[in-house]
Amino acid sequence: MQEDILNSLVLIFKHKIMKKFVYIVTDRNRTSMHVGMSSDLIKTLDFYKQMPNLFFDNGMQLTRLVYFEEFKSEAQALVRFKTISRFTRMQKERLVRSCNPDWIDLTIGLDFENILLHRNITNQVKLSFNSLS
């Protein structure tokens, strides 16, 4: 009984701290841009890379994350998603250039951050306080 209550509390806590992302992905030639919203950005980007022809043809594989924003609530993210979705192409390009002027694929940084957060560090050196003096 107590374990069920504890599991419920953990789920509620995780739900409250769950982040939401609004993002823009593009193809390698920047001919197509897509605005999206996700709670797991890495998983969403993996989906785009595994199923590149699901929405577009081979020439328009949306595999480059060029912009994203992080929000604490789904309501905030939804408002921003709707706003950016109504942007013209020029407005979206300006938004991307404002923080990513070279249109670098930001997925690499997210992958690195994810590895650091979920990796068990096994090569730490344990020193006693006596050895430091």
What is the distance between the alpha carbons of residues 128 and 133, in angstroms, rounded to a whole number?
10
pLDDT values of the chain reduced to their tens digit, one per residue, 133 residues: 555 554 554 444 454 457 899 999 998 888 889 999 999 888 888 887 777 566 556 666 788 999 999 999 999 999 999 999 999 999 999 999 999 999 999 988 776 655 555 555 454 445 555 555 5
Check: CB of residue 94 under 8 Å from CB of residue 83: no
Domain count, the chain: 1
Single pTM value for the model: 0.70
CATH number at 13 reads 3.40.1440.10
What is the distance between the alpha carbons of residues 78 and 81, in angstroms, rounded to a whole number?
5
Residue 52: which domain range? 2-132
Q: Is 64 exposed, middle or buried (0-12, 13-18, 19+ CB in 10 A)?
A: buried
